[in-house]
Amino acid sequence: MQSALSVGDEVMLTSGVYGTLRELNDDRVGVEIAPGVVIHVARGAVGTVTQPELGEAEPEEN
């Protein structure tokens, strides 16, 4: 999976943090976790590529 990563992919890191890939290097990636906030993590920290959400989900009322 690591070789199939592309800029713009939405990912979940192994720590549970969600973000969008903004930079790819040999050993690390830049992940945007909030507008304008990019963190750099080891490439192996990308746990899964997630599906983009189709819109903001409404919170469920109990």
**Structural domain of 45:** 2-50
Could you tell me if residue 9 is inside a domain?
Answer: yes
Structure tokens at 43: 């490439």
Q: What is the pLDDT of residue 61?
A: 66
Give me the mean pLDDT over the 29-46 stretch.
96
Could you tell me if residue 28 is inside a domain?
Answer: yes
Could you tell me if residue 19 is inside a domain?
Answer: yes
Could you tell me if residue 23 is inside a domain?
Answer: yes
Could you tell me if residue 6 is inside a domain?
Answer: yes
Question: Of 27, 21, 28, which is closest to residue 5 (Cα–Cα)?
Answer: 21
Q: What is the CATH number of the domain that holds 20?
A: 2.30.30
Could you tell me if residue 59 is inside a domain?
Answer: no
Lowest average pLDDT, out of 10-19, 21-30, 46-55, goes to 46-55
10-13 and 18-24 beta bridge pairing? antiparallel
**pTM of this structure:** 0.77
- Pick 62 or 29 by higher pLDDT: 29
The tally of domains found in the chain comes to 1
